[in-house]
Amino acid sequence: LKEEQSKNPDESSESSAAQCPQDLRSVLVTSVLNLEQLDIDLYRGTHHWVPRTQRLFGGQIIGQALVAAAKSVGDNLYAHSLHCYFVRAGDPKVPVLYQVDRTRDGRSFTVRSVKAIQHGQPILICQASFQVLQPSPLQHQFPMPVVPQPEDLLTVEELIQRYLSKPDLTESAKQGLNKLLATEVPIEMKPVSPAHFYRFAPGEPRRLFWARARGYIGEGDMKLHCCVAAYVSDFALLGTVLLPYSKYKARFTASLDHAMWFHSTFRSDEWMLYECDSPWAGSSRGLAQCRLWRRDGVLAASCSQEGVLRVKPVAENSKL
Ligand SMILES: CC(C)(COP(=O)(O)OP(=O)(O)OC[C@H]1O[C@@H](n2cnc3c(N)ncnc32)[C@H](O)[C@@H]1OP(=O)(O)O)[C@@H](O)C(=O)NCCC(=O)NCCSC(=O)CC(=O)O
């Protein structure tokens, strides 16, 4: 992990150096997931992008917790799952400490517990499990959904530019969209069905988008790609729960827990299809699940999350 983070693309193969100048290096690798070591099994992480809610982005905390866990396991071990609870809102004004407990080192599986701490209190508790690669005669997966290729779809930014040119947009809607455009999120996204993605009409609780880390990461360390995928996986997952409810908008939403399973090798800086759905909502909570597909149809990872969602009715004359 460390080696990959410090690797300068100019030092790698000539062709990748030519394609990926230093200034295109993913900020997820150079900053967000590049933890500072304070002591044995103790790390400090800083923030890059903070959501409008002014609480830390859950994906960042999960990604950083997985980085901390991965630093204490051997190169022959690969992350295969993680299970996290978000127990307190993260404070964007201070860094997060990550304390790793080496729960167990087995022959095949190794387990780590990570506590993310701010102001002396845990904000996230995470368990991550790693495995030595092992062959298996049992191998199956569902087929990847058939969707348009990313080259045929618009990015979120391009879609926002289009909406901005609509004549009937209110001034506050324009301001909101311009704010979104000015935000530097380290993920590139292309919704497969923009109307569903933005909840312009009620629909089934299911949405798909292509996503990848912004900037170059390169082949290299699989553990790092898992950390990036953990970061990305929390970005648009919980919103899937709201898709059937066009008459309501979110008043308070936060992910409560997050579980993830890694199945195959993948590159998080290459387009991956995120297939999100929500099988259930009730009691001010919703369950959301996602599958991450490699472009070639291989299932790379699966994810489940429950969140709290409190809503209020949408104003009749809203243009967004
Ligand atoms: C989930 C928790 C809020 C649960 O804590 P509590 O049990 O104390 O929370 P709570 O529900 O009682 O209170 C939270 C806020 O809701 C209000 N509140 C409580 N009950 C209410 C009710 N019945 N109706 C209306 N509002 C209510 C409270 O006054 C408070 O507002 P007020 O605060 O105004 O007093 C907390 O554990 C937490 O913050 N965990 C971290 C979650 C997180 O940060 N996830 C990652 C980021 S989300 C993410 O990354 C994904 C995403 O956003 O999509």
Regarding the beta carbon of 234 and ligand 1, being less than 6 Å apart is answered yes
- The percentage of residues in the chain with a pLDDT greater than 90, rounded to a whole number, is 73
Q: How confident is the model over 34-74, as pLDDT tens digits? A: 999 999 999 999 998 888 888 999 999 999 999 999 999 99
Nearest CA residue ID for atom 40, ligand 1? 88
Mean pLDDT on 296-313: 98
Regarding the beta carbon of 113 and ligand 1, being less than 6 Å apart is answered no
How far away, in angstroms, is 232 Cα from ligand 1 center? 22
Q: What is the pLDDT of residue 199?
A: 65
As for the ipTM of the complex, it is 0.89
Mean pLDDT on 196-214: 86
Nearest CA residue ID for atom 20, ligand 1? 310
How far away, in angstroms, is 49 Cα from ligand 1 center? 20
Which member of 221, 234, 269, 277 is catalytic? 234
| 118 flagged as catalytic | no
* Gap between the Cα atoms of 30 and 38, Å rounded: 18
Residue 32 has pLDDT above 70, yes or no: yes
Residue 256 has pLDDT above 50, yes or no: yes
| 283 flagged as catalytic | no
| 289 flagged as catalytic | no
Token pair of 288 as six digits: 């959301």
Q: How confident is the model over 131-186, as pLDDT tens digits? A: 999 999 999 999 999 999 999 999 999 998 888 888 888 888 888 888 888 888 89
Token pair of 59 as six digits: 């994906």
The structural domains of the chain, ordered by start, are 2-132+153-313 (2.40.160.210)
Q: What is the pLDDT of residue 197?
A: 67
